[in-house]
Amino acid sequence: MAADLWAVGCRGAGSEWEGVSRPESGYSIITNSKEKPTLGGQRIKTRKRNIAAPLDPASFSDAIVQIYLDNAGDLELVAKSIESSDLNFSRYGDTFFEVVFIGGRTQPGTIKPEEEGERHPYSVLDCAAQREAILPSVLYIQKTLRRRPFLIKSLENVMRKFLQSLEFFEENERKKLAIFTALAFSQKLSGLPPETVFQPLLKDNLVSKGIVLSFITEFFKEYLKENTLDDLIALLKKGKMEDNLLEFFPSAKRTSEALSEHFTKEGLTSLVEYNEKKMFEVKLKEIKLTLTTMINEEAEISEVTEAVKQQVKDAKFPDIEVVRMLWDVLMEAVQWSGKNQQQNSNSALRQVKAWAGLLNAFCTSGRLELELIYKVQTQCYEDAKLMKLFPEIIRTLYDQDVLAEDTILLWFRKGSNPKGRQSFVKALEPFVKWLEEAEEEE
């Protein structure tokens, strides 16, 4: 009995007992008189939110994959299950989109699927490379982003990573990504700014291998099935690629001819026409700048003529466009004087006389002379400063041997430009009558 009491006392005493000795005869207990140590100062409680939970993207990925599997890839049911889940999308947004695109989580720093993680067979890259198969995934992501707009940045991150790693995808997988991207823009999917798509593509190794050209071609073809060329150009402009289509081509094929040949072969003739027009505008601007500079510096007409001819030859510029451009630049270089009509008229006529030799060098046929008259007619019709100057300009061009008599008479009798024609014909009647009389006398 005594031993039992001793044992109970020992267990109950806990750490307050430094030591005890079991008595052989009678009872003796040695107690510790030393006080129990205590902590001084104020106790600081750690707030739970300051304790970071360990990251576990693998478990998150497995959970999303399981939702796909449980619903047999039915995206409507998948969306409902995800909506009702308490998964941490704000932390694992990138992982979520990896599962959407490739069916599982990727290995860190790569696009390869995680070997140990679960995968599902209903991803974007598991679909057929067709619009009908991929569009449901686009709409599913769109719905997800509306409910969780904070995921927009994650979508951008994953798309950027995939596009910069196109060389590691199979050709058919790249086609699916191109179709997905085109549909995403067609559906105005949030989270995909155009620069997010176009700029990552411009990696030298991707461009040099022709991977980028193949991708962007599929993108253009798919996008233009539902959108206009103007829509595509607006998209390219936002992505800062409107004037840089050649940057998608390997350096050895970075010519207008190669671009035209490639996109014509792919059935994208509207894009070819757009690019030709754009290149024309760029070259036109360069020639105008050269011509304007030389006119302002009062260079010799022969020098200006040779410089323009060389640029026209290099740019393969149509003769008609050259004549139109010359007239525009000459008139833009006139020193106009506000509302003084007489001074404006005198300045315009002086400019025509001074540079008639330049016009004459390029108006080398009746067709080009007629085009010059049409250009003068249009400007005089649209510019109030020149409205009453049309007959004087035509006479000056005749006197300076730029326009032939036959060309002027052809315009007067059968001209096809309707802008102000009736009033201009009437204004030119006295001069035409004089020409006809001179012709009869000869």
Q: What is the pLDDT of residues 370-429, one digit of tens each?
A: 999 999 999 999 998 888 999 999 999 999 999 999 999 999 999 999 999 999 999 999
Give the range among 54-63, 209-218, 243-252 with minimum mean pLDDT: 54-63
Q: Is the C-alpha dihedral spanning 384, 386, 388, 390 positive or negative?
A: negative
Confidence band, pLDDT 50/70/90 cuts, at residue 289: very high
pLDDT at residue number 438: 74
pLDDT at residue number 126: 94
Place of tokens 């176009």: 198
Asked if residues 16 and 36 have their Cβ atoms less than 8 Å apart, the reply is yes
Q: Is the pLDDT of residue 52 over 70?
A: no
Q: What is the pLDDT of residues 354-364, one digit of tens each?
A: 999 999 999 99
Mean pLDDT of 42-65: 64
What's the CA gap between 322 and 376, in Å, rounded?
14
- The average confidence (pLDDT) of the chain is 86
**pTM to 2 decimals?**
0.71
pLDDT at residue number 440: 67
Give the range among 6-10, 303-307, 340-344 with minimum mean pLDDT: 6-10
pLDDT at residue number 169: 93
Give the range among 159-163, 247-251, 256-260, 338-342 with minimum mean pLDDT: 338-342
Residue ranges per structural domain of the chain? 57-269, 277-440
Give the range among 5-19, 48-62, 112-126, 222-236 with minimum mean pLDDT: 5-19
> Within 10 Å of residue 361's Cβ, how many Cβ atoms?
18
pLDDT at residue number 112: 76
The H or E element spanning position 411 is: helix 405-414
Confidence band, pLDDT 50/70/90 cuts, at residue 442: low
> Within 10 Å of residue 104's Cβ, how many Cβ atoms?
23
pLDDT at residue number 138: 96
Residues 6+ apart with CB under 8 A from 170: none
- What beta strand segments (E) does 1-60 contain? none
Percent with pLDDT over 70 in the chain: 86
pLDDT at residue number 35: 54
pLDDT at residue number 359: 96
pLDDT at residue number 38: 47
Domain 57-269 -> CATH class: mainly alpha
- What the block records as the tokens of 366 is 């009746």
Confidence band, pLDDT 50/70/90 cuts, at residue 17: very low
More confident residue, 265 or 244: 265
57-269 matches 277-440 in fold? yes
Place of tokens 């198969």: 133
Domain 277-440 -> CATH class: mainly alpha
What's the CA gap between 308 and 310, in Å, rounded?
5
Confidence band, pLDDT 50/70/90 cuts, at residue 339: confident
Mean pLDDT of 305-319: 91
Confidence band, pLDDT 50/70/90 cuts, at residue 441: low
How buried is residue 235: exposed, middle or buried, by Cβ count under 10 Å (0-12/13-18/19+)?
A: buried
